[in-house]
A and B are shown apart, each in its own frame.
Chain A
């Protein structure tokens, strides 16, 4: 059986809005992912540390506080610095379209706004993880 997809669901900064993160985490768990939830009020350093320790396929960052243009780039830079730049960084929250575009440009994965079905997030993470795993398997040979 294939190894389960492992996802770190993370809340960064002071933002306490955790309804979305918890719903998404529950849906991922029910879809067969292994989900690690960081809990609230994490720094980018704590999140990247957890991602390394838990050896995840994806980091899903939830931000509804408006601090996304600070926190996503910071987490991404740290991931690259610590050698897990190949792990998917995705996420969601209250993020205006043009900010989403700018973050994608910078190397962040797909970002999901309000009203997104959880299945869209799950399908996306599943397909990216599968591609990455087969790419890795290819390069190992």
Chain B
């Protein structure tokens, strides 16, 4: 690491104005010598106006009822009576790069460092349903995550990790059904039945069309496959989260906190409605729906978002969908610090941003957390950067004392007012989406996409006008650049992965493969749940690309209208 740079900038960094203005008095350093700094915006990142002081008069009547007790409806104060006193959140660092061997090594390393849950990042070809040797995969194999084309890759990925003793989150969407099947198949080989497996597949296609933009088929068949997984998991994998309804990508694409809250919950409503249409009992699947929030810089707004989200969901599940089991009312969530808030300039500063964001997630009552590494605007994290990120969580959990008290901001005039306001604004969006006929129609019309694009542009303009400050980018910059080491992905990886997938195709039992693929093709033409057919196909070493091709033929390929 750039130790020298870190030491000699430490003083100037604390007082950068003074540093630049030399002899100028510290308190009023004439930073304005370059450009006038506009008046600060007294509003949250979502544009909610913020007053200088909050008093009891700012809190709407009926607070006790809106809060409930921790562990009770409407769960504003948290899902469990004692929260982190009983059990600290799961520290789940997202990892994946190169081949299955590389990521397997990183998993072993992170587990040895005290990480308590695995989280898998896949490369772009895997996310889009292409094998490593497909033309579209050119230059992308193993770059943004691990390359998984066949069951053999998956066997290597989890080698030496007993799958009944860890929980595994897989950030995979369009081909989630394939990766879920591969995970179940690897567990079978380890002698572990599906009912013992704990973890999550993201499998939230609605947010793909809204924000992350990784898809295979159009929205309706994509959602059908998601619901197949929810249904199958409800029956066979009682400890598995069959979906992670994700605000993260929506926020990263430019949404405000309110929009993140609203569109994510709208997606949740969409899945629940599709499951109910299939005749499922709401209490049979609702407890396995999980959520995923982004945690951005606006400290109090983020805490309010977590609290408002739990309350909105609890009310919807109880009152709109008539769930009887309190567990069905609970919005259980993973959280990740905001990648988009990190800066390439002065990257060490990102450690501070991540710590503050992580603290907000904890004070908001998250169930699990990923902290980003300081170098992620430059490349995938190095081992050292990933370790600092994990240590940040451990410091919050074990040194700061914040885990001792449940929902410590409960009753704060400001946080309660903000929680109410975010709930109101999110509910207004939900009403509009209901009027459009639901989230699938809204997505097909491009409504959330347009709202998010507009917010992203507004934010960028505020930054460029100097109305929003980003330290090291539009203020307090100008120091010599600190360079930090960056993870390099060897281009050899692509060649090796291509060889491996080709070898598997050569070696597998062709007759068994043929039968499984034929059965899958037929199932796609019916209303049958596809999970058992995909499971048979992966056991026969059908590749991810081949299975995705069956979906492409059966359901068509999605093309987004190019608008900005």
Contacts and interface: CB of A to CB of B under 8 A. Distances in A.
Interface of A: 9, 13-19, 21-23, 25-27, 29, 35, 37-41, 43, 65-67, 69-71, 94, 96-97, 113-115, 117-119
B253 A94 contact: no
A19 B252 contact: yes
Interface string B134-172: 011111100110000000000000000000000000000
Contact of B562 (A19, A39, A71): A39
A19 B127 CA distance: 19
29 contacts: A13-B138, A13-B139, A13-B140, A14-B125, A14-B130, A14-B136, A14-B214, A16-B213, A19-B253, A22-B456, A22-B564, A23-B254, A23-B460, A25-B564, A37-B562, A39-B559, A40-B560, A41-B136, A43-B136, A66-B144, A67-B124, A94-B377, A94-B379, A96-B379, A113-B377, A114-B344, A114-B377, A115-B344, A117-B464
Given A19-B253, A65-B143, A38 B562 contact: yes
Contacts of B212: 16
Interface centre among A14, A18, A27, A115 (most CB of B within 10 A): A14
Interface in B275-329: none
B193 interface: no
A16 to B, nearest CB: 3
A31 B561 CA distance: 23
| Interface residues of B, dominant DSSP | loop
Contact of B561 (A23, A39, A119): A39
B343 A118 contact: no
Contacts of A115: 343-345, 470, 473
Interface string B547-564: 000000000000111111
B125 A27 contact: no
B453 interface: yes
Nearest to B378: A96
B457 interface: yes
A66 B377 contact: no
A25 B28 CA distance: 39
Interface of B: 124-125, 127-128, 130, 135-140, 143-144, 212-214, 252-254, 340, 343-345, 377-380, 453, 456-457, 460-461, 463-464, 470, 473-474, 483, 486, 489, 559-564
Nearest to A39: B562
Nearest to B379: A96
B464 A118 contact: yes
A133 B438 CA distance: 50
B560 A23 contact: no
Contacts of B137: 14
Contact of A71 (B139, B457, B564): B139
B132 to A, nearest CB: 12
B345 A39 contact: no
B456 A23 contact: yes
Nearest to A64: B144
B127 A14 contact: yes
A39 B135 CA distance: 19
A47 to B, nearest CB: 12
B140 A16 contact: no
Contacts of B128: 14, 41
Contacts of B483: 97
A73 to B, nearest CB: 10
A9 B564 CA distance: 11
